[in-house]
Structure 1
Amino acid sequence: MILIVGAGLAGLSAAYHLRGVPYKILEREREVGGLCRSYVKDGFTFDYTGHLLHFRQTAIKALVESLLPDQLQRHARKSYIYSHDTYTEYPFQVNTHGLPPEVVRECLLGFIATLSNPSSKPPAESRSFKQWIVESLGEGIAKHFMVPFNEKLWQVPLDELTSDWVSWLVPKPDVKDVVNGALGIKDKAFGYNPSFQYPASGGIKVLPDAFLPSVENLSYDSELVEIETGRRRAVFRSAQGERTELYDRIVSTIPLPDLVRRCVDLPASLRELAASLRWVSVYNVNLAVARECISDKHWIYFPEHRYPFYRAGFPMNFSPSMGQPGCSSLYVEISHQPVERESDAVLIERVRRGLEQAGVLQRSDELVMSDVKDLYYAYVLFDRYRGRAVQELLTELERRGISSIGRYGLWEHTSMEDAIAQGQQAAARLRMKAAA
């Protein structure tokens, strides 16, 4: 028997692709999706922050489109950065036109300076994230966007982070692109998501829900309490009490530190490795305003420290079904250390003041709905300890019959598409073992 722990996208995909092999899937919540969920409050639909579909893998794109036939709409990305009291298009490094001339000059000259003697730069894997920013994009772009924005997001000095994860997320432009961007010339799209798909109605939760007709033996309200890897037994807790499940293999999608803590017979050295893993939490502040069209954008980045949030997005611009007539809705993201906690009332007031200062909201705007979700595990920190710790943990867990997959199971920064692909790959490996 295969146990799948967690019914987020990775777990659901594993179950979907295990058809014909006995399995059980156990989920702590009373619904599937993990952070790929939506909820409705006072007639407004919100995701657990922004969840947009952009595909790099043909097979996963085809799978998702088969699960959601005629339910996805394509959007050309409208994402902007608000700094120096000015909106510029994302990504910053190729869209500095419109900023104060001295800022544009700093960014342009700084980038050009990175082009001299590239062979003297150390390999990417040995550079800190801050070094990578300065050496790849220049002092000006670092100063005016990349460093302040990422300090707000990651909540640690960027010298503490590695740069081995940035290649697919942060585009490195050519000098022509940077010059064109300084002059306001646009001749191509940049970034990993110049367009995206999003459900026409229902929010992103329709994606995990679409797996359910093909998934069997799913138990909700089933929280993993402990695993004895030697005896291949796992204990789960629900409203009805505790129950024990015997297994041949486990596919775990829960956060790697939580999984290790629940494996009661792992050596202390591995527990210490898991305890060294770091992450950042996010307050997801959702608001609805009694005014139409407060923004025509999909989302906005806020690098400056005078704003408490690093990003705000507008669900009603992904799909009109997310809101109510005569109103607008928005989600706002504030990073924080996992040990910190701020009251909802204080957060909502801070967010409102910041949005008014940025001109997104007006003093006269009426908030018709407000809500806060605290996302405890939001972004994994890629510090210098992570690589070795994760590799040792995953190798030992695999040796003991546990495959840890998904964004938090592999302790990495990946997309919904990647989670689905990892579930598919885990199922393929297990099917091969079952057939052997």
Structure 2
Amino acid sequence: MSVADHSTPSAGTGSQHVIPNGDQVVEIETLVIGAGPTGLGAATRLDQLGRSFIIADSADAPGGLASTDVTSEGFYFDVGGHVIFSHYAYFDDALHRALPNDEDWSTHQRVSYVRSAGNWVPYPYQNNVSQLPLDLRVKCVDGLIAAAEHRAQTPGHKPKNFDEWIVRNMGEGIADLFMRPYNFKVWGTPTNKMQCKWLGERVAAPNVRTVVRNALTMQTAGNWGPNATFKFPMKDGTGGIWTAVANQLPSKRFRLSKSGEVVRVDGPSRTVEFGDGRRVKYKNLISTMALDRFLDCLDGGAEQRSVDRMRSIAKDGLVYSSTIVLGIGIRGKRPDRIGDKCWLYFPEDDAPFYRATIFSNYSPYNCPQGDVKLPTLQKADPSLPFDKAPSGGPYWSIMLEVCQSAEKPIDLDTLMEETIKGALSTELMLPTDEIVSIYERRFDHGYPTPSLGRDGALSQLLPDLRDEFNIRSRGRFGSWKYECGNQDHSFMLGVEAVDNALFGTPEMTLHETDWVNGRRNIERRLV
């Protein structure tokens, strides 16, 4: 599969939903742009309430950035690292309604490591420096103690950026060995150019006493974080979840492909023009398009100066990186060195990818079955000879992610070659491994960066769009908040946007993410 550039990827499986041809102008109470998790959350809530709506997406199928592709050989690859865990009963209800049977799901205990100094260090790295060589262990522990002493001396100090937060909480040793290089590989932005308000439950602050004790006894810390246990669909990858969620909605409500491609948004008249020439006049608009791209489509009419000001704010304050997802399908039994590993982190420069997922471990259906005969494309070491005749499995697979940004350029022409070399240097693969499938796809908007100027920009853009044009921009790139960009968050951003538009209900996921993450949210149910 060659590199493609998509901001709204398509799911690899599932039925298509369309609205029959009708009048050139359709009037609707609520128009939802985007059929990813946020748009489907909005549509699910609107359908539950019995309200009129249309959901539109330029892709051929629902799923958005939570879709799944299938290679011609039959390997499934998500368009990024996605697993299911939840803070919301409503989200759980929606998924249970879509995939109600136990056999629809597999449940996993996270087995995650960081590749560091030639070792597999259990995640989170900062709690498991006991697994490093002695000199690096000493460097990390010394930095942790120095950081604790500094915090005691400056109890009222608040870090001004992510780099200050790292050093204040973890010390220079862990900062240099893991946090700085890894986060640059993820975000394509130096840590001193990122804020730290977004962290919440995503980064574990180490317990100094535990780290020191483990460093002396060579023990490891237990699992941490909300995804220590997670679910994954048995078939069709993550995209299959969202196809199933979409199938619970009336097919007549969907506009996909050309009929769902936004060409122009007339803010004052509250009308959207689509790629097939038809227009929809709305009372409420919930957009999950990337906020910067949405503003490019917005026509302010007499209020154009206001729209131009919004575009300028977005250009100056909103930063993002692109993501390239690569997949490698391999013939053979999953090796013992891989075992039951889930996802793995790579801070060092011996590999271009920042994360690798052993995707075949999530479900046996993520690979072709063993009786499928496939030809070998190459050995992992391309200089080695191989038999070109098709032969059977078993098979296993690796999915890898690479960041591209203005500060972190990538040569796309050689990326797959460099990725395979990186997989060899980090012992993910051996030179004799037979590669039978390769997959590569680029997403222009991959990660919404929590830059220093982000919150200031959002504090103007989101209220102005709502107040001037009754537009609620929500979702991973619609509201540009990575901290509420998990699948459960994204879905509920759509649900809560609907309730806010119709009833004025507060949007807690958008505005109080830490509060939401700290509890089981049962206020809404889909039963």
The question of a shared fold, defined as TM-score above 0.5 by the shorter chain, is answered with yes
Residue 255 (str. 1) matches residue 290 (str. 2): yes
User: What's the counterpart of residue 387 of structure 1?
Assistant: 455
- Pairing of 1:213-362 with structure 2 (within 5 A): 213-216=247-250, 217-221=253-257, 222-237=260-275, 241-265=276-300, 266=304, 267=306, 268-276=308-316, 277-294=318-335, 295-296=338-339, 297-324=341-368, 325=370, 326-337=394-405, 342-344=411-413, 346-362=414-430
Give the alignment partner of residue 206 of structure 1, picking from 240, 243, 261.
240
Q: Distance in 2 between matches of 1:152 and 1:121?
A: 31
Q: Note the residue ranges of structure 1 that are not aligned, 5 or more in a row.
A: none
Q: Distance in 2 between matches of 1:35 and 1:26?
A: 15
Amino acid at match of 2:255: S
171-180 vs 388-397, greater mean Cα deviation:
171-180
Instruction: Compute the displacement of 1:63 (Å).
Output: 3.3
TM-score by length of 2: 0.78
Structure-2 change in CA distance of 1:123 and 1:218 (3 Å): farther
Give the alignment partner of residue 62 of structure 2, picking from 20, 32, 45.
32
Quote the sequence identity (%): 28
User: What's the counterpart of residue 396 of structure 1?
Assistant: 464
Instruction: Compute the displacement of 1:121 (Å).
Output: 5.3
- Pairing of 1:32-431 with structure 2 (within 5 A): 32-41=62-71, 42-69=73-100, 70=102, 71-118=104-151, 120=154, 123-124=157-158, 126-182=159-215, 183-186=217-220, 188-216=222-250, 217-221=253-257, 222-237=260-275, 241-265=276-300, 266=304, 267=306, 268-276=308-316, 277-294=318-335, 295-296=338-339, 297-324=341-368, 325=370, 326-337=394-405, 342-344=411-413, 346-399=414-467, 400-413=469-482, 414-431=485-502
SS of 1:150 mapped into structure 2: helix
Q: Distance in 1 between matches of 2:169 and 2:156?
A: 11
Q: Distance in 2 between matches of 1:354 and 1:17?
A: 45
Amino acid at match of 1:223: E
Residue 23 (str. 1) matches residue 53 (str. 2): yes
Q: Distance in 1 between matches of 2:213 and 2:96?
A: 36
Instruction: Compute the displacement of 1:187 (Å).
Output: 5.9
* Contact 1:55 1:417 (8 Å CA) reproduced: yes
Q: Distance in 1 between matches of 2:410 and 2:348?
A: 22
Q: Distance in 1 between matches of 2:141 and 2:288?
A: 44
Instruction: Compute the displacement of 1:433 (Å).
Output: 6.5
Q: Distance in 2 between matches of 1:205 and 1:6?
A: 15
247-256 vs 183-192, greater mean Cα deviation:
183-192
Instruction: Compute the displacement of 1:429 (Å).
Output: 2.3
TM-score by length of 1: 0.94
Write the deviation string for residues 389-408 of structure 1: whole angstroms up to 9, x where unpaired: 11111011101110111111
User: What's the counterpart of residue 503 of structure 2?
Assistant: 432
Structure-2 change in CA distance of 1:356 and 1:156 (3 Å): same
Q: Distance in 1 between matches of 2:261 and 2:40?
A: 16
* Contact 2:122 2:220 (8 Å CA) reproduced: no
SS of 2:439 mapped into structure 1: strand
SS of 1:204 mapped into structure 2: helix
* Contact 1:91 1:191 (8 Å CA) reproduced: no
* Contact 1:180 1:186 (8 Å CA) reproduced: no
Count, aligned residues: 429
Instruction: Compute the displacement of 1:67 (Å).
Output: 2.7
SS of 2:148 mapped into structure 1: coil
* Contact 2:150 2:168 (8 Å CA) reproduced: no
**What is the root-mean-square deviation in Å for CA atoms of aligned residues?**
1.9
* Contact 2:112 2:344 (8 Å CA) reproduced: yes
Q: Distance in 2 between matches of 1:53 and 1:178?
A: 29
SS of 1:242 mapped into structure 2: coil
Amino acid at match of 1:235: E
